[in-house]
């Protein structure tokens, strides 16, 4: 049986995230599995590199699946391109070893959160950026970002309710750039908890607007109390840029 690695690009605007739900068909995973199952004429299960929230996008989402299908990689790519919705594209397929697992083998993920900090929205990018007219102080945002870098218990930066999983994660870097009013927050980490990416972005936005202070960020990291800390950025500004193995 073949083990095939896939890289997927998708616009998450109209989907309930990556992961298949018990009810409903509006997820990326469901759409891809349906097309693969039809192509291979067998039930195909796709394993993803992790969940993405409702409305979040991906430039290079990684997944894998097992199949007995004998089609060439090029034939599979053509089939997927023809039958998947226009807002989902499988960019590449690759036969890999049996031990490759898109979820378990991840070393780090890189996300980008994009903010349009101009007065007027851009009609062509409005579905992929968070529009904030109030001018943000990117220098203060950079200072706050430094507090989050490294290994920390991010319990105060997640909406995860269960206590059965560790909330310790490592943020390797956070880069903040600003060009012509477009602010990009790029962050890389060994893993992210539920809503953690958007909470980090929302926290930095709140710092930039002066609504909270850097000391508030430090306090939440130390006290690990999510209920005392609220900022969460809108999903549409977040994109999974890459997955590193």
Dist. CA 34–CA 27, nearest whole Å: 11
Residue 16 exposed, middle or buried by CB count within 10 Å (0-12, 13-18, 19+): middle
Alpha-carbon distance values, 209 to 62, 131, 233 (Å): 35, 13, 13
From CA 223, how far away is CA 187, in angstroms rounded? 23
Task: Enter the tokens of residue 245.
Answer: 């193995």
- Residues annotated catalytic, as ranges: 53
The two three-digit tokens of residue 189, written as one number: 């980490």
């Amino acid at each position: 049986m073949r083990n095939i690695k896939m890289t997927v690009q998708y616009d998450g605007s109209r989907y309930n995230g990556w992961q298949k739900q018990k009810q409903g068909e509006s997820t990326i995973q469901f759409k891809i599995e349906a097309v693969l199952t039809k192509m291979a004429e067998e039930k195909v299960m796709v394993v993803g590199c992790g969940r993405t929230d409702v409305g979040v996008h991906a430039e290079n989402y990684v997944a894998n699946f097992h199949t007995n299908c004998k089609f060439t990689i090029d034939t599979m790519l053509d089939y997927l391109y023809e039958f998947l919705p226009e807002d989902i594209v499988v960019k590449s397929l690759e036969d890999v070893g049996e031990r490759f697992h898109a979820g378990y083998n991840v070393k780090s993920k890189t996300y980008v959160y994009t903010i349009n900090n101009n007065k007027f929205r851009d009609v062509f990018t409005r579905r992929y950026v968070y529009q904030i007219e109030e001018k943000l102080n990117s220098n203060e945002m950079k200072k706050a970002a430094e507090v989050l870098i490294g290994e920390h218990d991010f319990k105060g930066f997640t909406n995860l309710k269960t206590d059965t999983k560790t909330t310790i994660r490592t943020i390797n870097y956070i880069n903040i750039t600003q060009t012509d009013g477009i602010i990009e927050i790029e962050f890389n980490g060994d893993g992210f908890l539920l809503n953690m990416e958007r909470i980090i972005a929302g926290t930095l936005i709140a710092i930039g607007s002066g609504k909270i202070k850097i000391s508030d960020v430090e306090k939440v990291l130390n006290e690990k109390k999510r209920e005392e800390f609220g900022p969460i950025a809108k999903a549409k500004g977040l994109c999974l840029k890459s997955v590193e193995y």
